[in-house]
Amino acid sequence: MSFQPPSKSLTTRDYIFITVVVLLFIAISLGLYNFNLSLPNGGGEFLRHWAGGRAFIFDRFNPYEGEVPARVQQLVYEGNAGAGDEPYILDTPFHLLLLYFPFSLLSDPLLARAIYTLILEWALFALVVLSLRLTDWTVPRWFAPLFFLFCVANFYTYQSILDASPILMLAFFFVCILFTLQNGQDEVAGALISFSLYYWEVGLPFLLFIAWYAYKTHRTRIFAGFGMFSFITIMASIPIFPDWFIPYLRAGMNNLRADFGYSIFSAFTELLPSFGNWLAWVVIVILIIALGSEWNAAIQRDDPRRFYWTACLSLAAAPLLGFRTQWENLAVLIIPLALIFAIIHDRWRAGNLLIVLFLLIWLLVPWVLVLYGIPAYGEIVNQLIFLLPPLFTVVGLYWIRWWAIRPPRIWADAVVR
C-alpha cells in the first residue's frame, strides 16, 4: 500500500482571499472598460485589424485592399488621412489577423476597441511585473508601485493605449520569451515568437538575436516550438484565404513607402539639416557593428546575464536603426529600463536618488515637450520626443554594462561604491 500525502484543503481565509482578488479584478476591469469607452478618437492600430477582419468576414473582400484603410481613416480622422498622418494600411500576416476575428464580430468599433484596450492594460500590468522579475532583483517595496505608476503614466504608454496599439501585447510576449528561455521552456518561447512576427520596426533585431542565439547554442526546441505553432496557424489560414501572401507583401511595401512616423533619418535631418542624413548613417553603422559584436560575445560565452543584457540592447537599438516607427512603439523600452534601474540600485550608494531622478526626467520631459514645446517649435520637438528615449536607453545600457554582465564581487563593489 503506497503512502499518500495528506491533501491540504483550502481554509476559510483562503476562500475569502480568492473572493477578494476576483472581485477586485472585476471591479478594476469594469473601471478600465468605462475609461476606455471615454477615450478620444484614435485606436487606429487596432481598428485597422478590426476593419480588415470585418471586411473579410462580412463583405468577403481582400482585407489588404484600399477599402480597409479608407474605413479606418474615417473612424480615426473623420475624413481622409492628411500629409504625415498614418494611412493605417493593414500589413499583418493573415494567420495572425485571425486572432482579431473575435473582435471583428462586434459591429460597434468603440465597444471592440474598449475590450481590446482592456486586454492591453492587463498585458501592461503583466509586462511590468515580469520585467522586474527578469532582473533577478529584490525590488524595494517603494520601487515596485513607483515603477508601475511610471509605466502607466509615461507619454509613450499613453500613446499606445490611445491608439490601442498591439505594442503592449508584443512587449509582453517579448518579456515572456526572455522569461521562458531563462527557465528552460524553449518550446514555449518558440510558440511566443510565432505570434510576434509583425511590427518589424519594433522587434526585428530582438527576434533575429533570439534566432541566432538558438542556432549557435543548439537550442533546437525553440525552432521546434516556433515551427509547430507557425505551421498550425498558417495551415488554419490557407483554407480560409489561400491567396493572402502576395496581397500581404504588397500591403507591406505600400506601408514602407508611406510618409508617416519617425526615424533616425527624419530626426537628424530636422535637427541638423546640413549633415543630419550623413550622421544618421554613421550612427546606424556604429549600432550595427556594436550589435554584431555583442551578439557574438553573448554566443561565445553563453552567459545568461550577458544574453539578457544583449536582448535589452537589441530592443533599445531598434528605433535607431533607420526603421520608420511611431511614438507608441517606444513603450517596449520598459523592458531594458527595468534592468537599468535594477543595476543602478544595486551598484551605487546614491542609486535610489538616481532612480527617482531618471524616472522623473523620463516621465516629465516628453509631457512638457508635448504640452509646451510642440506649439512653439513644431516638428523639431516631435522628432526629439521620438529620439531621446532610445538614445537614453542605449547609453544607460552601456553605462551599466560592466555590472550587468558580470557576477557581483564584494571587494570590487566596495571600491565602486
Domain membership of residue 53 (yes or no) is: no
Domain membership of residue 4 (yes or no) is: no
pLDDT for the residue numbered 411: 41
pLDDT for the residue numbered 4: 52
Least confident of 80-84, 231-235, 330-334: 80-84
pLDDT for the residue numbered 65: 86
Domain membership of residue 62 (yes or no) is: no
Q: How many domains is the chain partitioned into structurally?
A: 1
**Phi and psi dihedrals of 38, rounded to 5?**
-90, 0
Q: Higher confidence at residue 300 or residue 62?
A: 62
Going by pLDDT thresholds of 50, 70 and 90, the confidence category of residue 80 is confident
Going by pLDDT thresholds of 50, 70 and 90, the confidence category of residue 85 is confident
Domain membership of residue 82 (yes or no) is: no
Going by pLDDT thresholds of 50, 70 and 90, the confidence category of residue 326 is very high
Going by pLDDT thresholds of 50, 70 and 90, the confidence category of residue 163 is very high
Contact indicator for 322, 256 with CB cutoff of 8 Å: no
pLDDT for the residue numbered 177: 96
Distance CA 152, CA 34 (A): 17
| Average pLDDT for 378-405 | 91
For 261: left if phi > 0, alpha if psi spans -120 to 50, otherwise beta; the answer is left
Domain membership of residue 99 (yes or no) is: no
pLDDT digits (tens, 9 = 90+) for 119-159: 999 999 999 999 999 988 777 788 888 899 999 999 999 99
Q: For residue 342, give the C-alpha cell.
A: 535594477
pLDDT value at 166 more than 90: yes
Domain membership of residue 328 (yes or no) is: yes
**How high is the mean pLDDT of the chain?**
88
Domain membership of residue 224 (yes or no) is: yes
pLDDT value at 338 more than 70: yes
- With b meaning 16 or more CB within 10 Å and e meaning fewer, what string describes 9-39? eeeeeeeeeeeeeeeeeeeeeeebeeebeeb
| Average pLDDT for 319-347 | 91
| Average pLDDT for 214-238 | 93
Going by pLDDT thresholds of 50, 70 and 90, the confidence category of residue 408 is low
Query: In 247-295, at which residue ranges do the beta strands (DSSP E only) sit?
Result: none
pTM of the model: 0.91
pLDDT for the residue numbered 414: 42
Going by pLDDT thresholds of 50, 70 and 90, the confidence category of residue 7 is low
pLDDT value at 160 more than 50: yes
> Length of the chain in residues, anyone?
417
SS3 105: coil
Give the relative orientation of helices 304-317 and 200-216 as an angle to the nearest 10 degrees: 150
| Average pLDDT for 269-293 | 93
| Average pLDDT for 257-284 | 90
pLDDT value at 90 more than 50: yes
Q: Higher confidence at residue 233 or residue 411?
A: 233
CB atoms within 10 A of CB 65: 16
Domain membership of residue 280 (yes or no) is: yes
**If you search the block for the grid coordinates 504608454, which residue do you land on?**
157
pLDDT for the residue numbered 8: 59
Distance CA 310, CA 305 (A): 9
Q: Which of 281, 308, 284, 286 is nearest to 297 (CA)?
A: 308
Contact indicator for 365, 202 with CB cutoff of 8 Å: no
Give the relative orientation of helices 143-153 and 109-134 as an angle to the nearest 10 degrees: 140
pLDDT for the residue numbered 416: 44
pLDDT for the residue numbered 104: 94
| Average pLDDT for 298-327 | 90
pLDDT value at 409 more than 80: no
| Average pLDDT for 94-112 | 94
Alpha carbon separation from 390 to 160, 271, 293 (Å, rounded): 16, 16, 19
Structural domain range at position 195: 116-416
DSSP state of 10: P
Distance CA 191, CA 199 (A): 17
